């Protein structure tokens, strides 16, 4: 037989705290009493009776000069006032989660709102909560709330403030909230269901689905134990609700292959252990005293501790976190992120696991104030310092231009990048970087002065060097690269092929005859180039851009023959004639004697560079790849036609 015990079985924080306070009160000596049953468990009440603590139900019945312990369910305002009038020493063991509900309903009524308590009538916790305001409304279901709203004269304009009994079920609460928001235009809700209760119920349901038999341990007067039993019965056909080990139906469960055990929030550890021991085939450790088990069940926290918890509720002002300790954790929204524009729903959701830092502990109320922002800041400073030591590259968002440089945000840390380290040219405006993300190295960190200096240039230089080395390791003639034109000179263009600059001579930019590289390319153009030759020692690379897959000469002879007329472009004037481009890459010579139909002293008297004229192809020298042209022949043909 496999026996599985639920993780959250037994005392919740509120009950554990109440029992601990009662233990301390009884140990102090002198008369003491508990007002009502401290918790819903007769075994616990009997334990304190043996310690000399009497149990009374009326404030007037408390013995004179006695210390009185207020039970974990809390009491009404009137009861506290009655105890105060008698001058008694009050030990308030009200569960901090319940005390919070008392404050919520009291404050709601002060603001002119109607407090609505979702919970079971007559339950001590509900009665005590209602006692902190004059006109509280108690409903046990969403349907009851709907009937009450529809019957009220103010109807949908009712200013309702909804809270829930801490041990109520999540389903009842969700239904009530849904109806309140549907029927009322002025309703506010506070999810005050204790997460420990919700977690206990979820674990019980899970075990009930997995196990053949469920054992629920707890007093029959305990409402939360009743809820556990009812939930288990929905998923398991064999559920036994017992108060102690002697009630175990051993004969009925011996044949089961798997048994699950859960316990109500008021069930002490020694009873759970006794049940588990009775069912287990293995010997367990020696019985511990009540105080020892209580002490072991409490995990302490200190300011500055890093803690991980689960988000259980999100309100307009704070985030509630279950830490698995005796404290309830709260993150104020101001402590969630240092970015004021960020939305809570983008950062965290109910059910998320979140790591935070303890900033303040209130043991009296059982509340821990947490900060995610401070923990993130501490982590980010550690990351920055490690990046400085290890030379790690980080990314930063450039927020603004500052005197002498720019300011970047690296994971919430302000990093100054001097102008000389931005990687920009001397006269280039730095505002071009604002609003961009840049990779940088951290060069200096002074945490005490909160000063960090970075360099974009160092990263760019290192990356360029790595790329350059990769180029030189793999370069070869005729290899193609996609490059960017970086600058132009009178004799060619420099092209960055990925960390290395190569030179494209003007003659290699185009098959056409050009006077300046700007006629073919512009700075910033992305071009396809290939390696003509390279010198690793001198770090020089000659590149070409002309498409060598098609021969200009072959293109020419495929289009023209001797005797054909062609429109050509005058590209150069010489003393003996003019050169004209027939097709890109193939020029022909118009001898001075063939420029006009009359004697010409100088070619420039008849022609100009860039001029388009019609000529006749008079000769093609295939071996020398030379072409003779005649403008005179065309002019004579025109004259003959006239």
Residue numbers annotated as active site = 125
d(CA 107, CA 87): 27
d(CA 522, CA 524): 6
d(CA 544, CA 66): 102
d(CA 529, CA 548): 11
d(CA 582, CA 593): 19
d(CA 547, CA 566): 24
Angle at 335 between CA 199 and CA 16, to 5 degrees: 35
Handedness of CA 357, 359, 363, 368 (dihedral sign): negative
What are the Cα distances from residue 450, in Å, to 277, 415, 446, 453?
58, 9, 6, 10
Q: Which long-range contacts (CB under 8 A, 24 or more apart) does 433-438 make?
A: 433/398, 433/401, 433/406, 434/398, 434/399, 434/400, 434/401, 434/406, 435/398, 436/397, 436/398, 437/395, 437/396, 437/397, 437/398, 438/395, 438/396, 438/398, 438/408
Number of H helices, E strands in the chain: 17, 32
- Using an 8 Å Cβ cutoff, are 606 and 573 in contact? no
- Using an 8 Å Cβ cutoff, are 319 and 333 in contact? yes
d(CA 560, CA 554): 10
- Using an 8 Å Cβ cutoff, are 75 and 128 in contact? yes
- Using an 8 Å Cβ cutoff, are 323 and 366 in contact? no
- Using an 8 Å Cβ cutoff, are 484 and 472 in contact? no
Alpha-helix runs per DSSP H in 28-89: 42-50, 77-85
Alpha-helix runs per DSSP H in 12-92: 13-27, 42-50, 77-85
Q: Where are the beta strands (DSSP E) in 201-300?
A: 213-217, 239-242, 258-263
Sheet of 258-263, strands arranged across: 2-5, 258-263, 213-217, 239-242
- Using an 8 Å Cβ cutoff, are 52 and 109 in contact? no
Phi, psi of 38 (to 5 degrees): -50, -45
DSSP assignment of 364-416? TTTEEEEEHHHHHHHHHHHHHHHHHHHT-EEEEEEEEEETTEEEEEETTEEEE
């Amino acid at each position: 037989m496999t026996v599985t015990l639920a993780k959250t079985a037994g005392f919740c924080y509120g009950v554990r705290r109440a029992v601990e306070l009662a233990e301390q009160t009884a140990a102090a000596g002198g008369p003491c009493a508990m007002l009502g049953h401290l918790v819903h468990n007769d075994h616990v009440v009997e334990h304190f009776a043996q310690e000399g603590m009497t149990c009374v139900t009326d404030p007037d019945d408390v013995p004179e000069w006695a210390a009185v312990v207020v039970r974990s369910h809390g009491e009404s305002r009137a009861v506290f006032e009655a105890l105060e009038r008698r001058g008694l020493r009050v030990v308030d063991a009200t569960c901090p989660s319940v005390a919070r509900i008392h404050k919520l309903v009291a404050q709601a009524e002060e603001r002119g709102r109607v407090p609505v308590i979702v919970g079971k009538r007559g339950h001590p916790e509900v009665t005590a909560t209602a006692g902190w305001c004059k006109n509280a409304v108690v409903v046990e279901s969403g349907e009851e709330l709907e009937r009450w709203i529809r019957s009220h004269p103010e109807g949908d304009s009712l200013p309702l403030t909804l809270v829930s009994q801490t041990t109520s079920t999540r389903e009842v609460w969700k239904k009530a909230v849904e109806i309140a928001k549907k029927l009322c235009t002025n309703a506010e809700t506070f999810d005050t269901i204790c997460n420990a209760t919700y977690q206990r119920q979820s674990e019980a349901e899970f075990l009930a689905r997995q196990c053949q038999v469920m054992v629920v341990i707890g007093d029959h007067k305990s409402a939360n134990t009743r809820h556990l039993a009812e939930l288990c019965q929905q998923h398991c056909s064999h559920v036994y609700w017992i108060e102690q080990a002697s009630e175990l139906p051993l004969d009925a469960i011996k044949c089961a292959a798997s048994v699950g055990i859960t316990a109500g929030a008021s069930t002490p550890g020694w009873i759970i252990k006794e049940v588990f021991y009775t069912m287990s085939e293995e010997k367990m450790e020696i019985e511990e005293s009540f105080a020892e088990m209580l002490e072991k069940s409490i995990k302490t926290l200190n300011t500055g501790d890093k803690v991980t918890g689960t988000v259980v509720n999100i309100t307009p002002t704070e985030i509630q976190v279950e830490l698995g300790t005796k404290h309830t954790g709260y993150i104020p929204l101001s402590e969630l992120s240092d970015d004021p524009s960020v939305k809570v729903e983008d950062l965290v959701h109910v059910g998320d696991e979140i790591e935070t830092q303890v900033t303040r502990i209130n043991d009296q109320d059982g509340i821990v104030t947490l900060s995610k922002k401070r923990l993130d800041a501490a982590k980010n400073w550690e990351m920055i310092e490690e990046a400085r030591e290890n030379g790690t590259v980080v990314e930063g968002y450039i927020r603004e231009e500052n005197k002498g440089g720019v300011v970047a945000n690296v994971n919430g840390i302000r990093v100054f990048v001097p102008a000389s380290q931005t990687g920009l040219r001397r006269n280039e405006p730095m505002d071009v970087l604002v609003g961009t993300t840049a990779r940088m190295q951290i060069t200096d960190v002074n945490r005490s002065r909160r000063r960090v200096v970075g360099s974009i240039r160092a990263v760019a230089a290192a990356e360029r060097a790595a790329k350059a080395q990769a180029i030189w390791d793999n370069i070869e003639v005729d290899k193609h690269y996609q490059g960017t034109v970086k600058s132009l000179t009178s004799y060619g263009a420099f092209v960055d092929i990925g960390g290395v600059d190569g030179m494209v001579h003007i003659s290699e930019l185009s098959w056409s005859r050009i006077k300046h590289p700007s006629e073919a390319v512009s700075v910033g153009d992305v071009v396809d180039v290939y390696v003509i030759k390279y010198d690793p020692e001198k770090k020089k690379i000659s590149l070409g851009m002309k498409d060598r897959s098609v021969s200009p000469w072959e293109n020419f002879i495929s289009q023209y023959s001797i005797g054909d007329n062609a429109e050509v472009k005058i590209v150069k004037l010489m003393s003996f004639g003019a050169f004209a481009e027939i097709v890109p890459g193939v020029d022909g010579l118009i001898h001075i004697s063939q420029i006009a139909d009359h004697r010409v002293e100088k070619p420039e008297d008849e022609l100009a560079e860039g001029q388009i004229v019609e000529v006749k192809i008079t000769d093609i020298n295939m071996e020398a790849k030379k072409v003779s042209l005649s403008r005179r022949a065309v002019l004579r043909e025109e004259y003959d036609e006239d």
